[in-house]
Structure 1
Amino acid sequence: MKSNIATAEVAVPYAGALMSLAQSKNLTDHFGEDVRSLLSLLSESEQLQNFIANPFVSVEDKKAVINRILGDGANAYFRNFLMLLVDRKRILLLEPICQQYLALLRQLKKIALAEVISAVPLTEAQQQAVKEKVISMTNAHEVEIDTKIDRELIGGVIIRVGSQVIDASLRGQLRRISLRLSGA
């Protein structure tokens, strides 16, 4: 279920169709919650990923598992969308479709996604400072932070928002000093 260019090209129209459906029924946020839950479940369970991607598993078995995962409280439109993916043998694209839907939702709501890589977990105050910095950079209404820990940074943070990168890590500063010294 790894994403590549061809996969992304197929996922985009499905995510767009899901967004259109969500907008027509005024369920964009509700679908966003369902999509986040599915992505979380997929990232936690390699067994589920393998089951969904397995071409030898019958359509009925895949539908039964999806129905069990969604439970009784799931939105009927969202459930039907997933069943359509199974019928069209596109369920193996579930992860990229969900990621693309979240990207469309962020675009619709003017939410910036900031990937923050730090040596240690950020405090609430540090996360708020990152959000304020990103809002000033992007003019977004809100900021969603995706944090990752990389002990090799030594200290500081790297913030990625779209194609913009702010490298305020000690590792980055040492690299820049090294480049200046070697160029001098």
Structure 2
Amino acid sequence: MINLLKKQVIPMTTAAVNYAKVLYELPVPEEAVNESERLLQENPELIRCLENPLIAFEAMEDIIDRIFPKEIRSFLKVVCRHKKMGVWKEIFRAYRSMSMRDKKILEAEIICVTPPQKEQLEGIQTFLCREFHVKTAEIRITEDKSLIGGFILRAGGKEFDWSLRGRYFRLRQKLTRR
């Protein structure tokens, strides 16, 4: 399955990764995690309440108990108690990354001038599955006109640069070494 996503990548804090690890190790069903993330995404006022230091912790606990699935409530209360709700997006993103890694799904990014066609994406996915020994790849597409042509593929800590800009820089570097 190829998922085309267009989002900006934001680096994760150590705190967010640590909370995500704890959440991933808890016996919380993935549906409860997804539902909680959806609730937070759709309700910015809810986030403001759970981040607000002027609101008593007991009131935050009451909000969490009334809104969120019961399996994740304790975790969210701990996050609120330690005043880390400001990194909720990072926590859920790190959680998804861990889940995908365990399911043998690779996260990849294609940076290109124009989005690839369906057949090209399927070929790239086949390459990624073979190269990284995974079942499937979730591919995010980012457009960058400065590449001139071609694309850059980032996955699993590796970068494959098949862009014209990259080829130009490599050629220039090779010629200046002589």
TM-score normalised over the length of structure 2: 0.74
Tell me whether 84-93 or 132-141 shows the greater mean CA deviation. Answer: 84-93
What secondary structure does 2:162 align onto? strand
| 1-structure distance, mates of 2:34, 2:151 | 28
Aligned to 1:18: 23
Query: What's the offset of the Cα at 1:13?
Result: 3.0
Q: How does 1:11-90 map to 2 (within 5 A)?
A: 11-21=16-26, 24=27, 27-28=29-30, 30-31=31-32, 33-34=34-35, 37=38, 41=41, 51=48, 55-58=52-55, 59=57, 60=59, 64=63, 75-90=69-84
Determine which structure has the larger helix proportion and give its number: 1
| 2-structure distance, mates of 1:101, 1:160 | 20
Q: Could you say what the CA RMSD is over the residues aligned between the two structures, in angstroms?
A: 3.3
Query: Given the alignment, which residue of 164, 170, 174 partners 1:170?
Result: 164
| 1-structure distance, mates of 2:171, 2:38 | 43
Q: Contact (CA 8 Å) 2:129, 2:135: kept in 1 or not?
A: yes
Q: Does 1:183 align with 2:177?
A: yes
Q: Does 1:135 align with 2:129?
A: yes
Query: What's the offset of the Cα at 1:79?
Result: 4.6
Unaligned stretches of 5+ residues in structure 1: none
Tell me whether 120-129 or 130-139 shows the greater mean CA deviation. Answer: 120-129
Alignment: residue pair count: 167
Unaligned stretches of 5+ residues in structure 2: 1-9
Query: What's the offset of the Cα at 1:135?
Result: 0.7
Query: What's the offset of the Cα at 1:99?
Result: 1.8
Aligned to 1:101: 95
Higher relative contact order (CA 8 A, sep 6+): 2
User: Cα–Cα, structure 1 residues 182 and 96, in superposed 2: closer, same or farther, change >3 Å?
Assistant: same
